[in-house]
């Protein structure tokens, strides 16, 4: 078992072509913000074979990413079916002979996979449960980077810095669209009345918690503004089970809206990749759009935009957020007021102003 002061020798000492297992099961934002660390690893040692374990519903985020050699799933289902699926996942992992397993997730499933991965070395953050699984415990990222606060992209990259990845500037997050997804979107956009070559905007009015969800009526007003005053067609997007939010937006818009409902993530990537503009709440699609190099505006409320904002976007971005002493909070409910004032306080004028600024700043080459 290596000493803690020898953890920095783990990555440099791996043999040529060694396999690394990276556990990052979910969600969209976390997976997108892992891509800078993956890029650093591959730039430093292209010989290393990187396998990332993500839940099946997220695998399309990474399928076209050149820095990922393989994507595995942790198993799914319920009851005994789930148990059998997890065991099968472990068997699949063990036969690959991983030299190192790095757990970035920390939950019980990832701990189970790490424990039984068969990897020669296992590493996880020191605050994780079941610390005994790991030969290398990774300190708090703020200690590693010597910073009072850190972004999620820095948090994930810091784990590899601690294990011996040479320290350097962390690059932007990035995603890649598959050719098949691009073909799908070419056909879909025509069905939505947006011909090839015409600019369009994507509005994403949903979020995990109501405390993070700007009103559908506001998104409708923004959509009408873009369509009628800026001449930019708008596509409203939502995930599975969120269609009612688009229904409310359509009612508030007073006209039929273009709807992209429950697209596969690969297809949604293609839709975002061609957008002139993205506007959405603090949620995964904002990270996707920024990682694709698209201009955008993201509306923050209960979360810290310092920790969860788009990481070094390659196109103009604006965060709209009003300061509250109680920020950040878990966001599952409002812990200070009768209603979530942090999101309710964001005005249409604030968001419209940010949108106008982005549209003005985006040069023709980026349109």
CA–CA separation, 145 and 163 (whole Å): 13
Show pLDDT as tens, one digit a residue, over the chain (367 residues): 444 458 999 999 999 999 999 999 999 999 999 999 999 999 999 999 999 999 999 999 999 999 999 999 999 888 888 889 999 999 999 999 999 999 999 899 999 999 999 999 999 999 998 999 999 999 999 999 999 999 999 999 999 999 999 999 999 999 999 999 999 999 999 999 999 999 999 999 999 999 999 999 999 999 999 999 999 999 999 999 999 999 999 999 999 999 999 999 999 999 999 999 999 999 999 999 999 999 999 999 999 999 999 999 999 999 999 999 999 999 999 999 999 999 999 999 999 999 999 999 985 544 4
Supply the pTM of this predicted model.
0.94
CA–CA separation, 279 and 249 (whole Å): 14
CB 41 within 8 A of CB 53: no
Residue 290 CB contacts under 8 Å (≥ 6 apart), including other chains: 173, 296, 310, 311, 313, 314, 315, 317
CA distances from 149 to 104, 139, 153, 161, 246 (A): 18, 14, 12, 17, 36
Radius of gyration, CA atoms only, the chain = 21
Domain with CATH 3.40.50.2000 in the chain: 4-162, 180-362
CA–CA separation, 151 and 344 (whole Å): 25
pLDDT tens by residue, 115-166: 999 999 999 999 998 999 999 999 999 999 999 999 999 999 999 999 999 9
Looking at domain 4-162, its CATH architecture is: 3-Layer(aba) Sandwich (3.40)
HSE at residue 334, side-chain half, CA atoms within 13 A, is 16
CA–CA separation, 171 and 63 (whole Å): 20
Ordered DSSP codes for 276-320: SEEEEESSHHHHHHHHTT--EEEE-SSS-HHHHS-SS-SS-EEEE
CA–CA separation, 176 and 64 (whole Å): 6
Looking at domain 180-362, its CATH architecture is: 3-Layer(aba) Sandwich (3.40)
CA–CA separation, 205 and 189 (whole Å): 19
């Amino acid at each position: 078992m290596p000493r803690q002061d020898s953890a920095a020798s783990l990555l440099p000492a791996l043999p040529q072509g060694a396999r690394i297992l990276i556990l990052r099961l979910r969600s969209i934002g976390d997976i997108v913000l892992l891509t800078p660390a993956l890029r650093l690893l591959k730039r430093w040692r292209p010989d290393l074979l990187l396998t990332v374990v993500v839940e099946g519903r997220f695998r399309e985020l990474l399928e076209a990413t050149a820095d990922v050699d393989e994507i595995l799933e942790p198993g799914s289902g319920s009851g005994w079916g789930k148990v059998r699926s997890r065991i099968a996942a472990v068997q699949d992992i063990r036969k690959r002979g991983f030299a190192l397993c790095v757990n970035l997730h920390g939950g019980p499933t990832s701990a189970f996979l790490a424990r039984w991965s068969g990897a020669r070395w296992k590493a996880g953050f020191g605050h994780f449960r079941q610390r005994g699984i790991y030969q290398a415990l990774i300190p708090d990222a703020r200690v590693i980077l010597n910073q009072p606060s850190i972004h999620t992209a820095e948090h994930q990259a810091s784990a590899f810095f601690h294990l011996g990845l040479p320290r350097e500037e962390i690059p932007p997050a990035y995603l890649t669209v598959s050719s098949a997804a691009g073909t799908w979107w070419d056909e879909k956009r025509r069905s939505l009345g947006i011909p090839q070559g015409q600019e369009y905007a994507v509005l994403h009015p949903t979020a995990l918690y109501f405390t993070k969800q700007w009103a559908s009526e506001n998104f409708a007003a923004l959509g009408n503004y873009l369509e009628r005053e800026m001449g930019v067609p708008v596509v409203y997007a939502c995930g599975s089970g969120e269609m009612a939010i688009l229904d409310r937006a359509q009612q508030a818009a007073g006209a039929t809206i273009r709807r992209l409902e429950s697209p596969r993530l690969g297809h949604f990537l293609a839709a975002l990749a061609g957008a002139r503009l993205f506007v959405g709440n603090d949620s995964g699609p904002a990270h996707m759009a920024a990682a694709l190099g698209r201009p955008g505006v993201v509306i923050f409320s209960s979360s810290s935009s310092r920790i969860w904002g788009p990481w070094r976007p390659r196109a103009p971005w604006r965060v709209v957020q009003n300061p509250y002493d109680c920020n950040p909070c878990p966001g599952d409910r409002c812990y200070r007021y009768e209603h979530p004032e942090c999101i309710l306080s964001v005005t249409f004028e604030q968001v419209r102003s940010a949108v106008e600024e982005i549209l003005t700043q985006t040069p023709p080459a980026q349109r």
